[in-house]
């Protein structure tokens, strides 16, 4: 299957700082990538769809100024959590689609102190 | 009625048991059906995918799709403690340039040695 690499796997930061998470497709090109958020014992919640060369599409209720997404190339999408606060602490997962199948990164656990 | 319904469990079985995980759906437009396995603090891992009614087997795993009943199943034979994880069903369709992917909420499985 296709490989999606996500980095870092965990990050701890102070409140008010910004954190960048990278998502790379290693063996294929992904014009579209997806960012999910997952709270403990809950299912995946789609945050936004990242489109190469254009603006991301955000789901309802997701602050686009808070969660900045950049999809600068066919193999890299980044999610920046700006001015992070403790309530932003969560598990963030990226994914990319090959035909109609989603392949996921390993996730990033963000803890904001 | 939710588009995809999945019993959250938790489901606890002894090692060696046959496990049956199920999802129902309401939208007959869904064309692709997937099962993911997610370990704690990890991204979902694709286990099986299919796009037609019937059975698909891969080792100890069998995916079953019944489009007439809008029902999909994942069977795990000779379950092992390492199968303990949350299992997510997902389904998608592409139509007229739009695409939709919906996840079930996941079933937490524990296989006891």
Task: Report pLDDT digits (tens) over A46-104.
Answer: 999 988 888 899 999 999 999 999 988 889 999 999 999 999 999 999 999 887 788 99
Q: How far out from the chain centre does Cα A79 lie?
A: 5
Using a CB–CB cutoff of 8 Å, tell me whether B110 touches chain A.
Answer: no
Any idea what DSSP says for residue B113?
Answer: -
Chain B CB contacts of A91 below 8 Å: 41
The pLDDT, as a whole number, for residue B63 is: 96
The pLDDT, as a whole number, for residue B96 is: 66
Nearest 5°: the CA angle A102, A106, A108 is 120
Using a CB–CB cutoff of 8 Å, tell me whether B31 touches chain A.
Answer: yes
CB B35 within 8 A of CB B74: yes
Q: How far is A22 from chain B (nearest CA, A)?
A: 14
Any idea what DSSP says for residue A59?
Answer: P
Chain A CB contacts of B99 below 8 Å: 100
Using a CB–CB cutoff of 8 Å, tell me whether B104 touches chain A.
Answer: yes
Q: How far is A107 from chain B (nearest CA, A)?
A: 5
The pLDDT, as a whole number, for residue A43 is: 83
Relative to beta strand A19-25, strand A76-81 is antiparallel
Q: What are phi and psi of B82, to 5 degrees?
A: -70, -10
Taking alpha carbons only, the member of B69, B72, B64 closest to residue B102 is B72
Smallest Cβ–Cβ distance between A101 and the set B49, B88, B105 belongs to B49
- As a whole number, mean pLDDT of residues A6-17 equals 96
Pick the residue from chain A with its C-alpha nearest to B34. Answer: A101
Token code pair at residue B84? 């303990």
Chain B CB contacts of A43 below 8 Å: 88, 103-106
pLDDT tens per residue across span B16-69: 999 999 999 999 989 899 999 999 989 999 999 998 888 999 999 999 999 999
Q: What residues does A32 pair with on adjacent strands? A: A51
Instruction: Provide residues of A within 8 Å CB-CB of chain B.
Output: 1, 4, 6, 41-44, 91, 93, 95, 100-107, 109
Please identify which residue in the block is written with the tokens 């079930």.
B104
């Amino acid at each position: 299957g296709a490989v999606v690499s996500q980095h870092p796997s965990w990050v701890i930061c102070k409140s008010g700082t910004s954190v960048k998470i990278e998502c790379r497709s290693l063996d294929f090109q992904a014009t579209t990538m997806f960012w999910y958020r997952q709270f403990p014992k809950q299912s995946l919640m789609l945050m936004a769809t990242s489109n190469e060369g254009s603006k991301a599409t955000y789901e309802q209720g997701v602050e686009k100024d808070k969660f900045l997404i950049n999809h600068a190339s066919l193999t890299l999408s980044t999610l920046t959590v700006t001015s992070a606060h403790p309530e932003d602490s969560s598990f963030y997962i990226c994914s990319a689609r090959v035909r109609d199948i989603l392949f996921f990164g390993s996730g990033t656990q963000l803890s904001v102190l | 009625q939710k588009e995809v319904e999945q019993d959250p469990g938790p489901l606890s079985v002894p090692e060696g048991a046959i496990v049956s995980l199920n999802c129902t759906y309401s939208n007959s437009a869904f064309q692709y059906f997937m099962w993911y396995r997610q370990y704690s603090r990890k991204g979902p891992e694709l286990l099986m995918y299919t796009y037609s009614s019937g059975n698909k087997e891969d080792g100890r795993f069998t995916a079953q799709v019944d489009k007439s009943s809008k029902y999909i199943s994942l069977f795990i034979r000779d379950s092992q403690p390492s199968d303990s994880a949350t299992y997510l069903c997902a389904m998608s369709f592409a139509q007229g340039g739009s695409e939709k992917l919906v996840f079930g909420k996941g079933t937490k499985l524990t296989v006891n040695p």
